[in-house]
Structure 1
Amino acid sequence: MRTKVAIFGSEEFCQRAMHFTEQRSEIIVDLYPYSVPSEAPALLKKLLPCDAILFSGSLPYVASTAVLASIPVPAVYLKQDETEITTTLLSISLHQSLDLEKVSIDVRDRNVLENVFDDIKAGEKRPLIYQLEEDYELEDLVQFHATAYTENPDNIAITSVHAVYDRLSALGIPVHKMISVKSSFLKTIDRVCQEALFQKSETSKIAAGILDDSNLKTEEKDSYKRLSQLLQAHCIHSEEGILFYTTLGAIQTAVHLSEFHQLVKLVSGQLAFGSGRTLTSAKENAMSALRYMQTEQNSGLYLLDEKKELHSLLHSEGSTVELRVIEPVLTEIAEKTALSPAVLSKLATFGQSQQSTQFTANDLASHLGVSRRTAERTIKKLLTSAYANTVGEEMTYRQGRPRAVYELNFPVY
C-alpha cells in the first residue's frame, strides 16, 4: 500500500525530500513549499487528500497547531538533532577554516547544540547562539546575524531558516544553511508512514451507535435518518433503540461536522457509541456507554472501546474513564466499597489532578459532576473501608457548620 505524505518546508527542503524518496516506491510526496514558516497554516487550508503530514521543522508545525486540530491525519516535524548540526559544521570545515568563536548560529534547541560541543570536546569555545522560539521574528533573526558580521567581518552565519539564508545572502553576509540529513529525514518519514498505517487500521475498526428513541419528542424522531447519513452507517430499528453500524473513522469524521453537533444536542443524552472486534461486541459497548451516560446523568457524547475505556467525543482533552477495573488495588476497592469502575476511575484521576492531597465533599462533587450529597455517600463508603481518612475541618464562614476535610488512602498513579 502506498502512503501519500504532504511535505511542508522551504522550496529547497521540498526538493531534497523528493530526492530522498525517489527510490521509495511505497511513498508518494505532495509538496507545499513556503517562503517563511509562518505561511504554513495558510497552506494547510489548501491541503489535498493525503495520509500524513511532514513539516520541515518545529516552527511551521507549532504555527499550524490550530489548523491541524481539524485535520484527521497524523502530522510530525523533522527534529533538529545532533547529526544535522554535526554534519553542517563538518561540511563547512572541509571547505574553510572554522573557528567556533567566529560563528553566529540559530538553532531550535540550544541543548542539542551543547551536546555536540560536549561530544567534540570544544572546551570553552562557543559561537553566538540564537534559540528559535515559537514567536520569533524574522527581522530579529536577520539582525542577529547581521550585527555579528558587522562587529566581526570574519564571522560566519549558520541558520536553520531558509528565508534568513536568502536575506543574508542578499546582504553579502557569509552564511550557510543547516543541512537536512538523509538518514534523519528517512527515519522521520518512516515514522509518520507507520502512524498513518496504524491510524488507518484504527479508523477501519467496527463501531456501533445506539440512539435511545423512547424519550425522543415527535419532532426529534426523524433525526436518526440524518445521523445515519452523517455517520455513513447502516441503520436498524431494534428493541434497544436505533442501531447505527459504522466504523471509527466515520464517527471521527462526523464529529468534526457542525450539523452533527446540532443533531447531538437535539438528542442530548440519548446517543452513545462503542467499538469492538465484532458487531456484537461493538453494540454491547455502545449500550454500556449509553447506560453510563444515563446513570451518571451525563449529556455528553461518549464511545466505549474494546479495552472498556470510555472516551469523550466532544472534548478530546478530557481524561479517559475506565468502565472496568483490572488493577488489583482498584479491584479490591470495588469489592469492598461496591463503587462502580467508572467512579473509581474518576476517583483516581481526582487524586492525580488535585494540587493538594486534602479535599472536601464539594471538591469531589465538582470533579465527579454530581451533587454534594452523592459525593458524601461516596466518601462514606471510602471511609468505612479505610480508603479515605478524615484529616480535619475547615470553616469558611463565621456561621454554619464546618466542612470535613479528607484524604484518599489508596494508590492513584
Structure 2
Amino acid sequence: MKVKIAAFGCEEIVSRITNYVNYQDDVEIVPFVYSESSETAELVEKAVMCDIYLFAGALPYLYAKEKIDKKRLPAVQITFDEYMILTSFYRVRNYHKQELNRLSIDVLDSHHVDEVLSELEIDDTEIHTYSFGQDNDIDLDRIAAFHEEMWKQGKSDYALTAIHEVELILREKNIPASCMQIPMLNIERTIEQAKSIATLNQSKNAQIVAGYFRIKNFDVVKQRTGDLLAQEVLLKLHQILLKYARKTYSSVLTSGNNEFVLFGTQGILNHITNHYRDFPLLQEIQRTLNIPVDIGFGLGLTAKQAEDNAKSALEACSHSSESTCYIVNERNDTIGPLGVEKEFNTSELYRALIHKARLNNELSYNFIDFIEVRNNEPFSANDIAGYYQVTKRSAERTVKKLLAGEVIKVVGEEKPYVKGRPRKLFQIDQ
C-alpha cells in the first residue's frame, strides 16, 4: 500500500519533492502549492485521505501548527539544520560573490547558525542573526525590518533569509538578499521520515481490538435480585455497549455466558489510549448499573490473538471486588487499571525535565502530556515515537537525555513486536 504524503510548499520545492519520489512505488505525493506561507492553514483542511503532512520549512508549519495539534495530525517538516546553513553560506560566497561577514540572517533557531560559525571559526559579531522561532506570532514585516535596519546601519551588506516572502520584501527595497535553498539531502531525509511514521501508523491501524464485558459475580446478583432484574441489568449493559460501538465503529456480540464481546480496530484503540485516566465507558456503566463490572481489552494482529489477550485482561479484573478495566496488548503487556488516576508531581517533573534532562519548554510540556495521557504507565521509546510522531532514533535520543538526567528509570522489558531484542520499559523516577 502506498503512503500518501500531503506536501505543503511553494511551487519550486513541491516540484522537487514530487520529482524525487517519481520512481518510488511505495509513496505518492499529494501537492498543496501556496503563493504565501499563510495559506497553509487553509490548505491543511483540504488535505483529506492523506497519511502524513509534510511542510517545506518551519514557517508553513507554524501557520498550520494550531490545526495540526488540535486534530493530532501526523506531520513532519523539512529539517532546517547546520547542513542547510552551510550550503546557504556556500551559495552566498560562490554564486552571489559575498563574503561571509557583514551578513544578516534570519532562522527559526539561532543555535544552528552558532554551530556553523563555531565550526568555520567565523567571528559571530560579523554576522547578525534574527531567531523568529522566539516570537509569539509570525510577522514577516518585523523580520524584514531587522534586515533593513542592519543594512541601513551599515552593519551588513547582504541579507540571507529562510523565508521567500521576506526576500521579496527586501528586494523591493533594493536590499541585496536571497532565500536559502533547501538541500536535496534534507528533502530525502524528511520523506524517509514521513514514510517511516506513516508505516508505523498503518501498522497500528491494522490492529484488532477485542473487549470482554461481564457483571462481576453475576450468579450472586441473580440470587439476590431474581432472574428478571438480573436480565434487565444485562439489557442495560448491552444498550450501553451498542451506543459505545456506534461511537467507536465497532460491533457487539453476546457470548452466551452473561458476557458481551466488542470487536473493532482503530476507533476503539484511539478511545482507549486517549482515556487511560478517566475512561468514560467504565464510569457510565457504573453510574447506570450500580453493580461492579469486569472489562478486559485485548490487542492483536488477528481476531484470535486479540480475543485471547482480552480474556487475559478480564482475568486480571478478578483480583478486585470493584469495577476494573485492564488491557493486554499484542506483546502481552498488562496495562491498567484504566480509569484510576496514577498521580505524579507535575511541578517536580517539569523542574527535572528543564534542569536535569535539559529539555526545552515545548518538549517538557509535551512529555508531561504524554505521561498524563498514558496515566503514568510504563512506556518504551516506540511509544514516545508514536505519540510525538517522530522517528524511533529521535525518540531514543530523548530517552537517553531523560535517563542521563535521572528523570526516568528502567522498570522492565517488553517482548518485541517481531523477532529481535526485548525493548526496555521506562517510568518516571518519582
Query: So what's the TM-score if we normalise by structure 2?
Result: 0.64
Query: Any idea what the Cα deviations from partners look like across 1:139-170, whole Å, max 9, x if unmatched?
Result: 21111011122223962111112221222223
- Offset at 1:94? 1.5
Q: RMSD in angstroms over aligned alpha carbons? A: 3.8
AA at the equivalent of 1:180 = I
| Aligned counterpart, 1:191 | 193
| Aligned counterpart, 1:304 | 328
User: Quick check: 1:245 aligned with 2:245?
Assistant: no
Aligned ranges 1:123-162 → 2 under 5 Å: 123=123, 126-133=126-133, 135=136, 136-152=138-154, 155-162=157-164
- Offset at 1:180? 0.8
| Aligned counterpart, 2:242 | 225
| Aligned counterpart, 2:179 | 177
| Aligned counterpart, 2:102 | 102
SS state of the match for residue 7, structure 2? strand
Partners of 1:139 and 1:156 in 2: CA distance: 17
Please, which runs of 5 or more residues in structure 1 have no aligned partner?
A: 324-351, 355-410
User: Quick check: 1:318 aligned with 2:357?
Assistant: no
Partners of 1:301 and 1:108 in 2: CA distance: 45
**Kept after mapping to 1: 8 A contact 2:59/2:163:** no
Sort the Cα spacing of 1:154 and 1:109 in 2 relative to 1 into closer, same or farther, 3 A.
Answer: closer
Query: Any idea what the Cα deviations from partners look like across 1:377-398, whole Å, max 9, x if unmatched?
Result: xxxxxxxxxxxxxxxxxxxxxx
Partners of 2:39 and 2:334 in 1: CA distance: 39
Partners of 1:185 and 1:232 in 2: CA distance: 37
**Kept after mapping to 1: 8 A contact 2:88/2:181:** yes
**Kept after mapping to 2: 8 A contact 1:8/1:31:** yes
Partners of 1:169 and 1:297 in 2: CA distance: 74
| Aligned counterpart, 1:119 | 119
Decide which structure has greater helix share: 2
Partners of 1:179 and 1:185 in 2: CA distance: 11
User: Quick check: 1:282 aligned with 2:306?
Assistant: yes
- Offset at 1:69? 4.1
Partners of 2:69 and 2:334 in 1: CA distance: 22
AA at the equivalent of 2:87 = T
Sort the Cα spacing of 1:291 and 1:150 in 2 relative to 1 into closer, same or farther, 3 A.
Answer: farther
SS state of the match for residue 89, structure 1? helix
Q: How many matched pairs?
A: 326
SS state of the match for residue 53, structure 1? strand
- Offset at 1:181? 0.8
- Offset at 1:14? 2.3
Partners of 2:181 and 2:322 in 1: CA distance: 53
- Offset at 1:77? 1.3
Shifted more, 222-231 versus 189-198: the winner is 222-231
**Kept after mapping to 1: 8 A contact 2:92/2:99:** no
Partners of 1:55 and 1:74 in 2: CA distance: 11
User: Quick check: 1:17 aligned with 2:17?
Assistant: yes
Query: So what's the TM-score if we normalise by structure 1?
Result: 0.66
Shifted more, 171-180 versus 122-131: the winner is 122-131
AA at the equivalent of 2:148 = A
SS state of the match for residue 212, structure 1? strand
Aligned ranges 1:366-405 → 2 under 5 Å: none
Please, which runs of 5 or more residues in structure 2 have no aligned partner?
A: 219-229, 287-292, 342-368, 380-405, 409-427
| Aligned counterpart, 1:267 | 285
- Offset at 1:70? 5.4
**Kept after mapping to 2: 8 A contact 1:106/1:129:** yes
AA at the equivalent of 2:264 = T
The percent identity for this pair of structures is 22
